[in-house]
Amino acid sequence: MQVVLLGPPGSGKGTQAVELSSRLGLFHLATGDILRQEVKNQTALGQEAKAFMEKGELVPDKLILAMVSSRLESGRDYLWDGFPRTEEQAVGLDALLAVRSSVVDIAVLLEVPDEVIVERISGRMFCPGCGANYHRQSKPPKKAGICDQCAKGLQVRPDDRAEVVENRLRVYRERTEPLVLFYEKKGILARVDGNRALQAVTADLATLLEKVRRGQKVLNG
Ligand code: AMP
């Protein structure tokens, strides 16, 4: 089963993907996480990607598709998080899957209003040691600014700063939102209200994906 998670930055894709992939036994592939690792390791790809990421721009499609292609393994059920982000990437993913006799089964759009997104992103923090994510309001660490798991000092992602968030939202609207129509035309788009308690959203997503796995009809109309 191939699942694409769509949604604006801050819609909860990453958090939901971690939970869902472990519940459903899917392989979580987040291009943003891979890129941050490449930047940290100062690889050639990381050095090229860094400037785009810091400005909230998209890393060029060719680099992203090569990066995904080199990691894709046949026969694996993927939960795609933050990829595809452009129509060229979506077409590229279809082509990569086609040679492995696979297709995208469902694209789920997590819907969250803009004002909620800005509020959510502005409280985000992460641990540079173990990668755990926190939020000042919804998921605070036990001790302010310190990771519960490894006691390292928490940081704010450079692209979560307010001025960059605005650009990321603009880029999302221009480049990524057209994918809603792309998957709608294929008849595989499902919408989930992401503006609710985390667990309620996870429960709905899990039910939806279980149905897709059983081959049941999940879309209206
Ligand atoms: P994310 O963690 O998904 O919000 O991604 C962080 C940043 O990495 C984005 O703002 C982009 O600069 C870059 N990025 C991640 N995934 C992609 C992708 N599929 N295409 C282009 N750029 C990406």
pLDDT in tens, 115-142: 888 888 888 899 999 989 898 888 899 9
Helix axes 44-55, 61-71, angle to 10 degrees: 130
Q: Is residue 208 domain-resident?
A: yes
Rounded to an integer, the average pLDDT of 65-70 is 96
Task: Tell me if residue 161 is catalytic.
Answer: no
Based on DSSP, count helices (H) and strands (E) in the chain, helices before strands. 9, 7
- In the block, tokens 């759009």 appear at 109
Any catalytic annotation for residue 13? Answer: yes
Mean pLDDT of 152-177: 90
Residue 124 Cβ inside 6 Å of ligand 1? The answer reads no
So what's the pLDDT on residue 163? 81
Catalytic annotation present for 85: yes
Number of structural domains found in the chain: 2
Q: Are residues 131 and 173 in the same domain?
A: no
Distance (Å, whole) CA 215 – CA 105: 10
Range of the domain at 130: 113-155
Are residues 135 and 170 located together in one domain of the fold?
Answer: no
The enclosing H or E element of 91 equals helix 87-98
Q: Is residue 87 part of a domain?
A: yes
Q: Is residue 45 part of a domain?
A: yes
Q: What is the mean pLDDT of the chain?
A: 93
- pLDDT, one tens digit per residue, over 176-198 is 999 999 999 999 999 999 999 99
Co-location of 19 and 40 in the same domain: yes
SS (H, E, C) 208-219: HHHHHHCCCCCC
Domain co-membership, 80 together with 6: yes
Q: How far is the CA of 214 from the centre of ligand 1 (A)?
A: 31
Q: Would the pLDDT of 216 be above 80? A: no
Within a domain: 196: yes
Asked if residue 220 belongs to a domain, the reply is no
Q: Give yes or no for residue 9 having a pLDDT over 60.
A: yes
- Same domain flag for 91 and 199: yes
Angle in degrees, 0-180, between the axes of helices 13-24 and 198-213, rounded to the nearest 10: 50
Q: What is the pLDDT of residues 13-60, one digit of tens each?
A: 998 999 999 999 999 999 999 999 999 999 999 999 999 999 899 999
Distance 64 CA to ligand 1 centre (A): 9
Under DSSP, is residue 190 helix (H, G, I), strand (E, B) or coil? strand
Residues 47 and 145 occupy one common structural domain:
no
191 is catalytic: no
CA of 16 to the centre of ligand 1 (A): 17
Strand order in the sheet with 78-81: 27-30, 78-81, 2-6, 106-111, 189-193
Residue 176, domain CATH:
3.40.50.300
Domain annotation covers residue 219: no
Same domain, 97 and 136: no
